[in-house]
Homo-oligomer: A and B are copies of this chain.
């Protein structure tokens, strides 16, 4: 990894592990620790040692010290920079049903670099006011507000049937990445990213495991 060559490619999987590392390392730092070795991280997070070694090596600007490990504060800094936790991305949320409200009220996004600035809803009864401190606008304002505020992330928490239409509007308004909580596939232009939060998929894994466990017991 050459100096100044920041755009090192990080694999999708590794990228998803970063938040776990960051959270764990922050905890260590608060406890006053200064140095940590990869095997200790692996043990705590239930990961393979080689994987952690590779991840840390890829993320850290400086090298780890054999027999000692990595400087915690530096690791945190490098990882946070890689994820852009420092400069938050502004986002809008569409659909202030129960899930939408829960997300608007969740304080944890700030420390993950996400800043919800406004919400939208098709129901006039829900717009005009504020929810959890965020203004709620009618859908007709979406394009105008997103363009003017230069919003790049859209969060979709509408019913499945409405999701594709909302998605199209967000893309038209200049959004580049979509966080989709509606249980449906969204079609977008090739340069737009859709990240679907996939509750039904998770449930599929859960109940499949359960069925196998219970079947085993019955043998």
CB-based nearest B residue for A155: B206
B7, B12, B177, B208: the one within 8 Å of A84 (CB): B208
A206 touches B179 (CB 8 A): yes
- Taking each of A89, A202, A204, which has the highest tally of chain B beta carbons within 10 Å of its own beta carbon? A204
CB-based nearest B residue for A104: B98
A24 touches B185 (CB 8 A): yes
A207–chain B nearest beta-carbon distance, Å:
5
A contact patch SS = helix
Total number of A residues with any Cβ neighbor in B under 8 Å:
60
- Cα distance A99–B210 in the bound complex, in angstroms: 24
Residues of B within 8 A of A183 (CB): 19, 23, 108
Within 8 A of B (CB), among A198-218: 198-215
Cβ-based interface call for A184 (8 A) = yes
Within 8 A of B (CB), among A74-106: 83-84, 89, 98-99, 101-102, 105-106
Q: A160-B23, A195-B206 are in contact. Are A45 and B89 (CB under 8 A)?
A: no
A109 touches B203 (CB 8 A): yes
Cβ-based interface call for A15 (8 A) = yes
Q: A84-B208, A207-B113, A209-B177 are in contact. Are A19 and B152 (CB under 8 A)?
A: no
- Cα distance A109–B183 in the bound complex, in angstroms: 11
B19, B99, B207: the one within 8 Å of A83 (CB): B207
- Cα distance A101–B97 in the bound complex, in angstroms: 12
Residues of B within 8 A of A140 (CB): none
Chain A residues in contact with chain B, CB under 8 A?
Answer: 7, 10, 12, 15-20, 23-24, 44-46, 83-84, 89, 98-99, 101-102, 105-106, 108-109, 112-114, 152-153, 160, 176-177, 179, 183-185, 187, 191, 193, 195, 197-215
User: Which are the 7 A-B pairs with shortest beta-carbon distances?
Assistant: A19-B200, A102-B102, A16-B201, A193-B209, A98-B102, A98-B105, A177-B206
